[in-house]
Amino acid sequence: MAETKSSDAAGGAGAGSAAEGAGDLAPVVETDPRIVRDDVDYADGSPALRFTKDGAGFLYYKTKDGDQPRVAGCVAKVTDYQNKFYFYDNCSTTARDSKGPYPVPKTLLCALNEHIVGFVVDRSVDERCVTPGMVMSKDGASLIDARGNTYKSWLWDSGRQGAGTAPAEPVVFRLNRWLTFKFTSREDIVVSFSCDGVSRDFQMGERFRRTDSYLDKAVPAGGGQVGKKAVVVDAPTLQERTRIFNEEAKYSRMAVKPDSRNIRRFTEIRDVMASLETHFKSYEDRIESGEWQTQPFAAAGWREGALAQTMREVPQHAAAVTADNPDGATELGATLRAAGHVASPFELTGGSLDATGGGGGGLGATSGSGVTAATDFGATGRSTFSATGGAGGARADVGGAMGGFAAGKGGRWLGELDIKRRIAGANPVLERSTQLRGASGRYCVDVPVESKGTVFRKLPVVRARDLDKYLSEIARPDQLVLVACLREDDPLCRRAQQLLEHVNGTLAAQYPEDPNTGKADEGAPPANPCPYRIVKCDMTESREMTRRFAIHALPMFLSFMGGPSGLCYAGPL
C-alpha cells in the first residue's frame, strides 16, 4: 500500500470546504471506513487532495476561481498493498515565454507501476530541451543526462555478471516547482508534493505481502527428529475471525442498503429517507417482536374462502332484486339461478332429448336427477328447452353452442378428455411444408408446427444364389434395381442401410399404388409404377457375391436394369 504523509496548512479550512463545496456532486454514501474519502482543499476552496483511505485518488495544483482543476498526480489501486503512480506537470497543452507560445511536448513527469517499471523526467532545468531523467525496468535502472545519453546503469540483482553498482547517494530530481523525486533504493522511492501550504509524500518503493521467511519464526521441534522446525503461523482466533466477519457484514449492509445516517451530502435526500424510516419503523418492530405471524401453508377451508371472496366481487343486477330474493342474482337475472342457489347435477338422457313439445317441467320429469326445469332454469313454469321448440331445439342449441363436441351417444355429456380429442380432431395441426422439412429444424422456433415423422421402410433381402432369378422374374425390365451389399457388423454399412431405408420409404410414399412386386403380381399393373427398386444382399451369407463381382470393400452398390446381364454400375456411392 502506498504510504503517504501530509501536512496541511489549510487543514481546517480544507476539511470544512470539502463537505460544504461539494453540493454539486452526487450524494456520497459513507460505508466501509476503508473507502471513506480523504479530501483536502486549498485556502481559497479549490481542490488539493482527493484520496480514499486505501491510498487511491488524485492531487491537484492550485487553480484560480472558475478554472478547471489540473491534476498533479494520480494513484491507482492494484492490490491491497500495491499501487501505480502517475505525476503530471502544471501546464496546459501550450506554454508561453518571451518569444511567444509554444507547444509543450510532454506533461507526464513520472510514471511507476507496482513492479518498479517506469521513468522520471526533470523538466525544471529547461522545458524546451532534452531533460535529464531516470528509466527503471524489471532488470535494473539507468540515469540519463540532459543530452539523452545514459551515463550510469545498474541491475537490481547485484550478483549477476556486469550488474554495476547503484549510486551511493540518493538520486534527486526536481520535477517542477511543486514535485520532487528522490530515489534511494528499489524499496525506497519517494515523490514529494508541496503547493500553497499543502504537502504530501508518496512512497512508491516495491512492496511485498511478506518480507520475511517462515523459517525466521520457526522453532526447533523436540523429539527424535533432529533439525526439524515447527512453523509458527499468526492465525487469527475464532473470536477475531467472528469480529472481522461482523465488521465486514456491517459494511456490506451499509453499502447495499444505506440509511439516512450514512448520507453525508444532500440534506433533502437524507430528510426523505429519515421520514420513510420513521414511518416503517413501527412495522419492522412488529415483525421483529413476532406480533405479525404468518403460516407458510394453506389453512383448512381456503378453497371455500377464496370462492366466497370471488363471489362477493361479482356485481349484482338491480333488475333481479325481488321481494323473495333481496340479494339479486349473481349472473344474468331471472334467467339463471338465484344468488346462493346451487343446482343439483343432472344428466341429459335420450328420453329427455327425444321428447317433443313445450310442456313445462318436461325435462325434469325425464331427467335422471329429478330436478324440474322450473326450479333450475328459470322462475317461470316453462322449460328452457321447451322455449326453443322442444328437445329438438334444445339439441340444436347445445350442439351449436358447444360446436358439436359436448354431447355423445344418447345425449350424454362427454368428459373433458373426449371433448379435447374431438376439438383436436376438428382442428388438426398444420403440416410442415417441404421447404421447412428440409431446413434441418432451424425454423422450429419461428414456425411452431409439427411435421410428419421420417418414413422408413425395410429393404427386401435377396440371397446371393437367388439374385439372377429376382432380377429376371420379380423386377420389371424398365426398373432400375439397386443391390446394396452390406454387413450388419460394419458401422458404415449400418449407416448406408439406414439411408437406403429412408429412400425406400420415400419412394413408397410417392408411389402408393405400386406394390413394388413387378410382374409376379396378379392383376392389372399400377397406373403409376415406381421406376426404382432397392434390395439388400447380406455379404455374411456366402462368398459368391465377392467372387462374382470382385468386391473388396463394403458397402458396395450394384445397379441393374433389364435383367442380370444389365449391370450398369458397381462401386461405392
- Tens digit of each residue's pLDDT (9 = 90 or more) over 3-30: 555 554 434 333 333 333 333 333 343 4
| Alpha-carbon span 352 to 350, nearest angstrom | 6
Please say whether the beta carbons of 132 and 120 come within 8 A.
no
What does pLDDT average to in each consecutive run of 10 residues of the chain (573 residues)? 48 37 38 57 89 89 80 92 92 68 73 94 65 90 89 92 91 91 94 92 91 83 78 87 88 79 83 92 85 77 88 65 57 43 42 39 39 39 39 46 58 78 79 64 54 79 93 90 94 93 89 61 69 93 91 93 91 84
| Alpha-carbon span 35 to 452, nearest angstrom | 65
Question: What letter represents residue 211's amino acid?
Answer: T
pLDDT of residue 527: 76
Q: Within its chain, how far is the Cα of 316 from the centroid?
A: 49
B/e letters for 336-357, b = 16+ CB within 10 Å, e = fewer, are bbbbeeeeeebebbeebbebee
Question: What residues does each domain of the chain span?
Answer: 3-203, 328-339+348-426, 464-571
The residues near 229 (Cβ < 8 Å, ≥ 6 apart) are 215, 218, 219, 220, 221
| Alpha-carbon span 56 to 200, nearest angstrom | 14
Residue carrying the nine cell digits 409376379: 520
Name the maximum alpha-carbon separation found in the chain: 127
Phi–psi pair at 372, nearest 5 degrees: -80, 155
pLDDT of residue 384: 38
Question: Which H helix or E strand runs over 569?
Answer: strand 567-571
In the beta sheet, which residues pair with residue 489? none
Residue carrying the nine cell digits 449391370: 567
Please say whether the beta carbons of 328 and 317 come within 8 A.
yes
Give the end-to-end CA distance of the chain in Å, rounded to a whole number. 73
- Domain 464-571 class, CATH top level: alpha beta
